[in-house]
């Protein structure tokens, strides 16, 4: 199948690996995504260990990762895939309901966002594109609610993380707080009365200073360090 060139920033297709222990889910998502311009499914995996092995072999940009699989589950596989500093693959975890207690653990493990398994083809494709870009929270209203709910599981900010937030400037701290509240770059620009490009620059500096992969990880970090408190959004 021929795809358009509106996938990744380089003009090439976004390469996707689908990891799920249910063959029907894998095949269904493959059909949906292969029909989308700029997206190409490069492989399937039957569990977390297979996902790690297939990622090393196929170098996908995004892994659609089921959380609950026999053997090595999605959380452990996500942790392995995102552990190295030079890891570029983004993980989008799949769940059957949006307040799955395991989703927050997956975000903490390094996942860039989550998606409900009953998502439409349009939602699925957009989620893959968003995660591949790394420039926007996936489903902000759901992600925000989930992070707020499950950050209660670890209510005491970690001192080492809190000290890292201290390396940010006042404006960068403000931007990080707004990211954690689920605001887009355009919304942050409007709130701070600055150009959207200026916000993008701030976001880039925040991710670099805190050694974070994307905005979702920045939001999780803001909660875990106590910069933003659950219920305070």
Please state whether the predicted TM-score (pTM) of the whole model is above 0.75. yes
User: What is the dihedral angle through the alpha carbons of 147, 89, 6, 65, rounded to the nearest 10 degrees?
Assistant: -60
Q: Would you kindly state where each structural domain of the chain is located, as residue ranges?
A: 14-133, 150-224
Q: What is the pLDDT of residue 203?
A: 93
Rg of the chain over all Cα atoms, to the nearest angstrom = 17
User: What is the dihedral angle through the alpha carbons of 204, 63, 127, 147, rounded to the nearest 10 degrees?
Assistant: -70
Q: How confident is the model at residue 147 (pLDDT cuts 50, 70, 90)?
A: low
| Residue 35 backbone dihedrals phi, psi, to 5 degrees | -85, -5
Tell me what the mean pLDDT of segment 43-62 comes to. Answer: 95
Model confidence at 2: pLDDT above 50: no
CATH class assigned to 14-133: alpha beta
Tell me what the mean pLDDT of segment 174-198 comes to. Answer: 91
The helix (H) or strand (E) run that includes residue 146 is helix 140-150
The helix (H) or strand (E) run that includes residue 35 is none
- Identify which has the larger pLDDT, 72 or 30: 30
Q: How confident is the model at residue 224 (pLDDT cuts 50, 70, 90)?
A: confident
Same fold, 14-133 and 150-224: no
Model confidence at 176: pLDDT above 60: yes
Model confidence at 53: pLDDT above 90: yes
CATH match for 150-224 among 1.10.1740.10, 2.60.120.590, 1.10.10.10, 3.40.190.10: 1.10.10.10
Model confidence at 3: pLDDT above 50: no
Write down the residue that tokens 């957009």 correspond to: 126
**Do residues 68 and 45 make contact, with C-beta atoms less than 8 angstroms apart?**
no
Encoding tokens for residue 84?
């190295």
- Identify which has the larger pLDDT, 19 or 117: 19
Tell me what the mean pLDDT of segment 74-101 comes to. Answer: 83
């Amino acid at each position: 199948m021929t795809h358009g060139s509106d996938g990744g920033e380089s003009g090439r297709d976004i390469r996707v690996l689908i990891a799920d222990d249910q063959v029907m889910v894998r095949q269904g998502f493959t059909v949906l995504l292969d029909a989308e311009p700029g997206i190409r499914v490069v492989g399937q995996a039957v569990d977390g260990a297979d996902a790690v092995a297939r990622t090393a072999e196929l170098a996908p940009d995004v892994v659609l990762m089921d959380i609950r699989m026999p053997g090595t589950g999605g959380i452990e596989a996500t942790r392995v895939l995102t552990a190295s500093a030079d890891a570029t693959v983004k993980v989008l975890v799949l769940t059957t309901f949006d307040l799955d207690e395991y989703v927050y653990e997956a975000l903490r493990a390094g996942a860039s966002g989550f998606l409900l398994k009953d998502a439409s083809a349009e939602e699925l494709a957009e989620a893959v594109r968003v995660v591949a870009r790394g420039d926007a929270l996936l489903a902000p209203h759901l992600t925000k609610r989930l992070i707020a709910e499950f950050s209660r599981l670890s209510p005491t900010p970690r001192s080492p993380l809190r000290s890292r937030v201290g390396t940010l400037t006042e404006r960068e701290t403000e931007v990080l707080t707004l990211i954690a509240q689920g605001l887009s770059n355009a919304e942050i620009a409007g709130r701070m009365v600055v150009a959207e490009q200026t916000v993008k620059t701030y976001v880039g500096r925040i991710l670099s200073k805190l050694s974070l992969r994307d905005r979702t990880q920045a939001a999780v970090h803001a909660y875990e360090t106590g910069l933003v408190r659950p219920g305070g959004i």
